[in-house]
Amino acid sequence: PAPGQGALAVECRAEDGETLGYLAAVEDPAARLATVAERSFLAALGGGCSLPVAAYGAVLNGSIQLTGAVASLDGQTVIRVQGQGNDPHTLGAELAQEALARGAGEILLSTTR
């Protein structure tokens, strides 16, 4: 899926304690970690919504699991990476670097031509 697909976010003023309290009651910390990892993967690839990038994160046994992919527009080339960690920003960035080292940069450049 697209990074962050299905995640909902609500914004409110930082000083609005009452609303923050309501929001805390419905926050899903595991979903937040997974979504941050997915979006970090996309950001480290320099991506936006139109790039052929996929990411799926989940928290299992206290660790963030992340799978990412970059595909050519014709679907003939797909680079998949997978890893786990405790920091979603680091995990996403490290997997993006691995994907780039395996040729994702060339695929992404070809999509902007």
The domain that contains 33 carries what CATH number? 3.30.160.40
User: 102 is in which domain, residue-wise?
Assistant: 17-111
Letter for the amino acid at 100?
A: L
CA distances from 66 to 1, 61, 84, 89, 95 (A): 12, 13, 6, 11, 8
Number of compact structural domains in the chain:
1
With respect to residue 95, please indicate whether it lies within any of the assigned structural domains.
yes
Residue 26 lies in a domain: yes
6 in a structural domain:
no
* 10 within a domain of the structure (yes/no): no
In this structure, is residue 96 part of a structural domain? yes
**Whole-number pLDDT of residue 63:** 98
- Looking at residue 102, what is its pLDDT? 98
Distances in Å between the alpha carbon of 63 and those of 23, 44, 53?
Answer: 24, 21, 23
Residuewise pLDDT in 10s, the chain (113 residues)? 899 888 888 899 999 999 999 999 999 999 999 999 999 999 999 977 788 999 999 999 999 999 999 999 999 999 999 999 999 999 999 999 999 999 999 999 988 76
Residue 69 confidence (pLDDT): 98
The edge-to-edge listing of strands for the beta sheet with 78-85 is 53-60, 63-71, 78-85
12 within a domain of the structure (yes/no): no
What local confidence, expressed as pLDDT, does residue 113 receive? 63
pTM: 0.89
Distances (CA, A) of 82 to 1, 91, 92, 96, 98: 14, 10, 10, 10, 9
